[in-house]
Copies of this chain bind each other. A is one copy, B any other.
Amino acid sequence: MFSFDITTRVEYVDTDKMGVMHNSRYFLFFERGRTETMRQLGIGYKSVEDKGIMMPLVEQFARYISSAHYDDVLMVRTCIKELPKAKIRFDYQVIRQDNGKEIILCEGYNTLAFVCTDTNKPVRCPQWILEKLAAHW
């Protein structure tokens, strides 16, 4: 298992007239968490695309537990719990720290496929990605 935290801030454009962060924006926080987690693992998504692999989303889910507000500094915790085969799954928690306690505002996951850019066909997780993951396991 591999886990990585980033911090990010709720911007004005993230809010809606209910005064809280709009439900769709959590998926952008998931993307942000995943991007930095992959970079941390040495498999930055740009380098994945440069090597001829795209990783389209297969499915994703979010459970909204508590609201995020404007200017909140949040933590996005991204977790890979299993080594990927045909797909890779990322689990997320969006967390607000409150006096040292962690309040989970939202949790979710998404799964991504590996697709060869040339053939546009799904492939198994490339060996070089598996090796990078294994090095951090």
Contacts and interface: CB of A to CB of B under 8 A. Distances in A.
Interface of A: 11-13, 15-20, 22-24, 27-28, 31-32, 35, 44-46, 54, 56-64, 67, 70-71, 110
Contact of A11 (B23, B28, B60): B28
* Copies, count: 4
Contact of A45 (B35, B67, B71): B71
* Prevailing SS type, chain A contact patch: mixed
Given A18-B54, A61-B59, A71-B44, A11 B31 contact: yes
Contacts of A20: 17, 56
Contacts of A13: 16, 22, 24, 28, 31
Contact of A35 (B11, B24, B56): B11
